[in-house]
Amino acid sequence: MRSMAFVATGYIEAYDGVSVYLENLLRALLVHPAVVSGAIGVDIFAAKGVAKLLRERAAVPQKSDTIRLFGVRETNNIIKMFDLQRSILQKGKYDVIFAPNPMPLFFGGKRRVKVIHDLTIKRTPELFSTLKHRYIDLLINYMKYFDDAIGYISGQTKADIARYYGIDEKKKRLLYVPNGIPFKVRDLPRPPMEEAFAKYDTEVLDFVVVGRINRSKGFDRILKFLRHFDRVLQKEGRYKSVTLHVAGKQTPETEALFHNAALQRIAIRFYGYVDDATLNKLYRDSHFCFFLSRNEGYGLPLVEAMWMGTIPVLSKIDVFGEIMGEAYPRFDDESGYEEAIETFMRSVLDDEAYRREIFRQIENAVSHEKEGYARAAENLVQYIQEAS
């Protein structure tokens, strides 16, 4: 029997991108035939405060000889990391230690693999502190020289690893463990296609954006469009109401970004962190979902919104082309974020044939992305089975 340690200490109750990725990959891994049959034993390490929640959401068996869940002390991050390292060394020699994100885990296991999600910090270095840069450099350089393999979730992440750290498949084992559509939306019935299509014949227009409220996520670009569209609405008065729904964590940049937004016809509603049911309803009821980020390793809200029948408005970054295909409209500084996005929206709202073409492209993307976590689990199992 092969053995692996699945490090879930990055899992938190107020789900972030790593937590969503972690619980979905673990859920897919635990139903893989090699794990169900006992050919691969899985020890899961999570902070004690969220171990019960992770067990419920990832469907970790209560009683199993080959799948075990261990709690790690979490007084603070330093104690959590030391207790994790101690626990792994005490439990025995694992064939593989898998961490779904970079972390200071330096010992144990015949093989170690940690996953890099995105390198936004390198794409937009001015948005991060010097200390943050040094910490990430330390973790990734350790992975480069001392870990057996490095995981990546998308083609853009793989390209950025090579660009910023000189790591490619000639120098390091790279393991593709992609993201996908999370079970929190996959387990829901999708809105019927005609229902989703028909909501665009409307006198009330709703936008939604999900994520941290900062420039890295493109909120300044969103506001640039909103100010333009607000001026248009004041002249034509086409819609009874237009609302931007913002579900995401406020940051030190939030107040500065929204200061003097000066919107007359567009209302903005802030929700902060929301539960799954509320978020899914926001997706389903909205007409457009903004993703004008400067960089993403994947973009979970994008695939969640598409599952719920909402059309995304995208920045022109590589990973969105990877998910949607190069034909899908995307926007950058060259195209602008004002008239270009307005034209796209008007085409969707007013041209039924164009709207159907956009929905066709969305369906193609959803069909591929819904198998993402299953592909990740299969690749991880193959990697474990290669361990000797």
pLDDT score recorded for residue 257? 74
- In the 3-class helix/strand/coil scheme, how is the chain assigned residue by residue? CEEEEEECCCCCCCCCHHHHHHHHHHHHHHCCHHHHCCCEEEEEEEEHHHHHHHHHHCCCCCCCCCEEEEEECCCCHHHHHHHHHHHHHHHCCCCEEEECCCCCCCCCCCEEEEEECCCHHHHCHHHCCHHHHHHHHHHHHHHHHHCCEEEECCHHHHHHHHHHHCCCCCCCEEEECCCCCCHHHHCCCCCCHHHHHHCCCCCEEEEEEECCECCCCCHHHHHHHHHHHHHHHHHHCCCCEEEEEEECCECCCHHHHHCCCCCCCEEEEECCCCCHHHHHHHHHHCCEEEECCCCCCCCHHHHHHHHCCCEEEEECCHHHHHHHCCCCCEECCCCCCCHHHHHHHHHHHHCHHHHHHHHHHHHHHHHHHCCHHHHHHHHHHHHHHHCC
Fold of 186-369: Rossmann fold (3.40.50)
Both structure tokens of 234: 């004041």
Lowest-confidence region among 24-38, 264-278, 323-337, 359-373? 264-278
pLDDT score recorded for residue 273? 82
Closest CA to 21 of 379, 300, 343: 300
Q: Is the per-residue pLDDT at 388 higher than 70?
A: no
Give residue 295's pLDDT band: very low, low, confident or very high (50, 70, 90). confident
Mean pLDDT comparison of 100-109, 194-203, 357-366, highest-scoring range: 357-366
Q: Which DSSP string corresponds to 155-200?
A: HHHHHHHHHHH---TTTSEEEE------HHHHTSPPPPHHHHHHTT
8 Å CB contact between 233 and 203: no
Q: What is the C-alpha to C-alpha distance for residues 51 and 211, in angstroms, rounded to an integer?
A: 25
Lowest-confidence region among 89-98, 208-217, 309-318? 208-217
- What is the average pLDDT across 109-126? 90
Q: Is the per-residue pLDDT at 250 higher than 80?
A: no
8 Å CB contact between 329 and 291: no
- pLDDT tens readout for residues 57-90: 999 999 999 999 999 988 788 888 899 999 999 8
Q: Is the per-residue pLDDT at 234 higher than 70?
A: yes
- DSSP 8-state class, residue 150: E
pLDDT score recorded for residue 15? 65
Q: Is the per-residue pLDDT at 94 higher than 80?
A: yes
Closest CA to 290 of 300, 279, 302: 302
- What is the average pLDDT across 141-145? 95
- What is the average pLDDT across 213-235? 90
Q: What is the C-alpha to C-alpha distance for residues 242 and 342, in angstroms, rounded to an integer?
A: 14
User: Between residues 3 and 127, which one has the greater pLDDT?
Assistant: 3
Q: Cβ–Cβ contacts within 10 Å for residue 71, how many?
A: 16
Fold of 2-180+371-386: Rossmann fold (3.40.50)
Q: Is the per-residue pLDDT at 256 higher than 80?
A: no
- pLDDT tens readout for residues 126-138: 888 999 999 999 9
